[in-house]
Amino acid sequence: MSDFLFQWRLCRRPLFQPVQTANETWRERLSLIVRLEDADGRSGYGEVAPIEAFGSESLDYAAQCLRSLGSRLDLASILRIVPNFRATRFGLTCALADLQAEAAKSILLPRAALLKLDASLELACRRLADEGFRVAKVKVGVGDGPSERQQLREVLATLPDGFQLRLDANGSMDLKTLETWVACFSGEAKIECLEQALLPSLALKQVSALKTLNQRLPLALDESVSSAESWKQWTQELQWPGILVLKPSVFGSLDECRQAIADRPEQVILSSSFESLVGLRALLRLAAEFELKRPLGLGTVDYFVEQRERFSAADLAANALSKELMNDLWESLEVVI
């Protein structure tokens, strides 16, 4: 079996504003960029971008794993990486696929904008609609529930045809609160979905209720399906009928991502996880492979100045991030001793 020259480097990027995770506050995003090179000099890049809050390994554990692999790597070594090292598996399998892949499909992929639920929301939605966007994501469950619902009702009444809101609760609701939200917006065509209303542990206890509520207002699972294992649990064992959010960088290997999407591509929203351009390139190629129709969730690009400039349009070219750009990024990274 052929093997590859294997290298990895640290990628350190300052955040436009701090990010509060379950365990810490980020002021910069750290990830590991991996590079494979074959005997013919062809190279492939991937990104290992763990987020422990989503159940992946830590950056330190990922680095220990990569260090243990040495400087030569074959396919068997990649496949032996334990399933719990989800971000590491994704990064290495993406590098292998990038090395072997043909050019990405030349198609445009729609993306959702990220807006705040404040006094500017109505005007911002109109502006985005004029720019060609058809979905805007809004965080809910942050402030007073009745006030949030009233403001959303007023905004929804002004939205142009074809424009929708993607509401994201990040597990901030209990079942009674969710029932109140569903009663308020039942049948509202200008709401694409309400993401992750309940915490994953609570959602598992309320599967039947969630399925019933989903018939009145589309509900989406996000943190509940953050791994290949939990995805299979919800889609196969629990037969979840609704929308699913997939974060490739912390989900598992590239093939596990493909298998998850192939099962129900019309219900999948691909979402970013504070990746560099390397990880975003892999996400775009994955979306293009299945020609996904739901606008991509790329809200995390707003936290990086260079990404905000590149990803400002309503539709993104799947092949916008070239291998030459990856080569340049690689040369700028810190070598890990």
Q: Which domains does the chain have, with CATH numbers?
A: 3-103+326-335 (3.30.390.10), 108-321 (3.20.20.120)
Range with lowest mean pLDDT among 8-12, 184-188, 301-305:
301-305
Determine the average pLDDT of the residues in 43-60. Answer: 93
Determine the average pLDDT of the residues in 64-72. Answer: 93
What is the C-alpha to C-alpha distance for residues 279 and 300, in angstroms, rounded to an integer?
12
pLDDT digits (tens, 9 = 90+) for 111-167: 999 898 999 999 999 999 999 999 999 999 888 999 999 999 999 999 999 999 999
pLDDT of residue 180: 98
Neighbours of 123 (CB within 10 A): 11
Of 160, 183, 159, 188, nearest in space to 173 by CA: 183
Handedness of CA 175, 179, 180, 181 (dihedral sign): positive
What is the C-alpha to C-alpha distance for residues 66 and 48, in angstroms, rounded to an integer?
10
pLDDT of residue 106: 79
pLDDT digits (tens, 9 = 90+) for 243-286: 999 999 999 999 999 999 998 999 999 999 999 999 999 999 99
What is the C-alpha to C-alpha distance for residues 312 and 328, in angstroms, rounded to an integer?
22
Query: Cα 280 to the chain's mean position, in Å?
Result: 9
Give the confidence band of 20 by pLDDT, cuts at 50, 70, 90.
Answer: low
pLDDT of residue 23: 57
pLDDT of residue 16: 84
pTM for the whole structure: 0.93
Amino acid at 170: N
pLDDT of residue 310: 86
What is the C-alpha to C-alpha distance for residues 205 and 324, in angstroms, rounded to an integer?
48
pLDDT of residue 104: 65
Q: State residue 203 phi and psi, 5-degree precision.
A: -60, -40
**Start-to-end Cα distance in the chain:** 28
Determine the average pLDDT of the residues in 91-110. Answer: 87
The listed range with the strongest mean pLDDT (22-26, 100-104, 305-309, 312-316) is: 312-316
CA distances in angstroms from 273 to 89, 99, 217, 226, listed in the order given: 15, 23, 26, 11
